[in-house]
Structure 1
Amino acid sequence: MLRVENISHSFKTGNEWTKVLHSINFTVNQGEMVALLGSSGSGKSTLLNLMAGLMKPLEGHIYIADQDIVKLGENKLAEFRRKHIGFIFQAYELITSLTVCENVELPLVFQSVSPRIRRQKALQLLEQVGLQGKEDMFPSQLSGGQQQRVSIARSLITEPSVIFADEPTGNLDSKTEEEILAILLHLNKTLKTTFIVVTHEHEVADRMQRIFSLRDGYLINGDFREESPVSEEAAP
């Protein structure tokens, strides 16, 4: 589902180049749930932006659903992202003037899907993340954990090939963090959706099937786990 081949990247500051990623290689299979683990400055945010097609690497290739996104022009890349890539953000990134249901529907608006089908799909996803009955509320009326559930539902509505979750529990207390992780695991198992969870927390990474660890721009390991230890009891 996702293949990263010999990705290297540098940033220019003044007249000097600073290399932030060094020949990164790994593969994520369909339906896997993996962690990209690293501390601040490890290069994980840069790698996330490259994999999501938000930046172009200076070297290497990134394949998603057998498409080398590095070779796509800006218009084709934007279209590819809308269809194949979902995002879950640490700060939720919900539009405060829209209802819960309207926030979830939004990616389908850009695909010209009819209002009836948009709402039907959104309501189904809101039920899956445990927010049935809250579809006409506004983000300000929800807790942080509930807002993140809205973000999760929104990321799934286009049925993407892969979802990138950027520090999805970073703003949550430990109890809510566990609930959100359980929901992600439940969705991963039931929908067979591929998740890349970017985190600096070992406790979060340990819940995943595999961990890709970055340090100073180098991939230092890819640890495989047969079963994720996350409990699904907190999932809806």
Structure 2
Amino acid sequence: MLRVEQVSHAFRNAKESVPVLHDINLTVEKGTMVALLGSSGSGKSTLLNLMAGLMKPDQGKIWIADQDIVRLGENRLAEFRRSHIGFIFQSYELLSNLTVRENVELPLVFMGVSPSKRKTKALSLLEQVGLAPKAALFPSQLSGGQQQRVSIARSLITEPSVIFADEPTGNLDTETEEEIITILQRLNREMRTTFVIVTHEAEVAEQMQVVLTLQQGRLVRETVQQAGVKEK
């Protein structure tokens, strides 16, 4: 499903090059829930962005669904992301002028799916996250936890190979955080969706099947709670 081979990356400015990731190797099997755990500056968000195809590494390969995304040009990479990759953001990233249903449909608009099929699929996913009755509302009329559920539904609309989530519970209180994690776990079981979740919270990471701990840009520890990921 997802394979990272000898990936290293550095950020550069006019004066210097600052190494961020060092020789990362890992494999994620289909249907696994993986946490990337680390403190601020550990490189976890950079690794997530590289695996999601939002950045290209200085060296190494990243395979998703048998495709080395590092080798893809910008147009093909954008097309691949639309079909194979879903995102859940800490700040939800919903469009305020669109209804809940329209926000969930949006990735299918870019893929040219017909309005009737978009609507049917969006309503089905909103049912999955318990928000079908609020389909006609706007994001401002929802709580933070409800907005994140909309974001989760949107991430699933294209039936992606993998969903990347960057601190998906970072803006939520403890009770709502637990609700969101429970929803993700249920979707993982029912839909066999692969999740890679960045977090700095050990409590969140402990609820994943596998925890990969980053420290100063290196993969220093792997905790397997269920079979699914093996460090190479």
Could you tell me which amino acid in structure 1 is paired with residue 12 of structure 2?
Answer: K
Structure 2: unaligned runs, 5 residues or longer: 228-232
Aligned partners of 2:95 and 2:8: how far apart in 1? 35
Matched, 1:164 2:156: no
Aligned to 1:134: 134
Aligned partners of 1:44 and 1:14: how far apart in 2? 24
Aligned to 2:175: 175
Matched, 1:224 2:224: yes
Aligned partners of 2:127 and 2:154: how far apart in 1? 12
Aligned to 1:233: none
Matched, 1:210 2:210: yes
1:226, distance to aligned residue in structure 2 (A): 2.7
Matched, 1:26 2:26: yes
Aligned partners of 1:188 and 1:117: how far apart in 2? 23
1:15, distance to aligned residue in structure 2 (A): 2.9
1:17, distance to aligned residue in structure 2 (A): 1.1
Aligned to 1:232: none
Aligned to 2:104: 104
TM-score by length of 1: 0.95
Aligned partners of 1:155 and 1:124: how far apart in 2? 13
Aligned to 2:70: 70
Aligned to 2:118: 118
Aligned partners of 2:155 and 2:71: how far apart in 1? 24
Structure 1: unaligned runs, 5 residues or longer: 228-236
Aligned to 1:80: 80
| 1:133 partner SS | helix
Aligned partners of 1:132 and 1:49: how far apart in 2? 31
1:58, distance to aligned residue in structure 2 (A): 0.4
| 2:24 partner SS | strand
Displaced runs of 4+ in structure 1, greater than 2 A?
none
Could you tell me which amino acid in structure 2 is paired with residue 63 of structure 1?
Answer: W
Aligned to 1:13: 13
Aligned to 2:92: 92
Give the paired residue count. Answer: 227
Aligned partners of 2:182 and 2:109: how far apart in 1? 29
Percent of pairs with identical residues:
70
